[in-house]
Amino acid sequence: MFKAVSAKQIPRHIAIIMDGNGRWALARKMPRTAGHRQGVEALREIIEASVKLRIAHLTLFAFSTENWKRPESEVKALMSLMVEFLQKELSELHKNNIKINMLGRIQGLPQDAALEIQKSMEVTKNNKGLQVNIAINYGSRAEIVQAVKKITHDICKNRLSPDDINEDLFSRYLETAGIPDPDLLIRTGGEYRLSNFLLYQSAYTELLFTDRQVLWPDFTSRRFLEAILEYQNRIRRFGGIDV
């Protein structure tokens, strides 16, 4: 199926809201944590497919600023799984020239999670292949507010004039500075919303929502390729018209 994907129209940047782990587990009368663990297996498969397709950026919504509202036991399990994944996979990720990047606030994360993320970023910082952006303790509204604060600070310090502010400059103050906007955003699990994820960056992103039967642990590389094929069959006008 990889051959069916046009190499000339590969999205540079794909963002994914990995939704449905808990529902996947409950449907099988298993604890929600089992769904998160199965979701890690899906993640591994999608990263491998992204490398094969030579995608430049893969951004994964791993944990939002709102997810702290979940039961403490589930939050701990999610953080432990992320630490386990990075510890087990870092060597392989590094060998495959993958760069790990974080979006979100590292402050407030459990110490072991923060240290593992920092280690992964340091080890892979010079890699030139797929960049995996892990959005953890991330919220887009908070990101935008923080960008406004930084711009205001630089104006007060006479580093900027209000007349300097435009879309390009504002983008440089976001956590995604230097990363192209997503071409394609996929959400699994049948929910049709962005849930405070990359709101500014997704202005012209192609959105693809799976139905409720396709939960994140069921999102195989085949479904990933099908999503890319659908993207390649769309016409992106960016406010213009077909010529």
Catalytically active residues are: 19, 67
Contact between 139 and 65 (Cβ < 8 Å) = yes
Q: Exposed, middle or buried by CB within 10 Å (0-12, 13-18, 19+), for 195?
A: middle
Paired tokens of 117: 């993320």
Between CA 191 and CA 207 the distance in angstroms is 12
The residue behind tokens 């509204």 is 141
Contact between 27 and 218 (Cβ < 8 Å) = no
Compute the chain's Rg from CA coordinates.
18
- DSSP summary character for residue 104: S
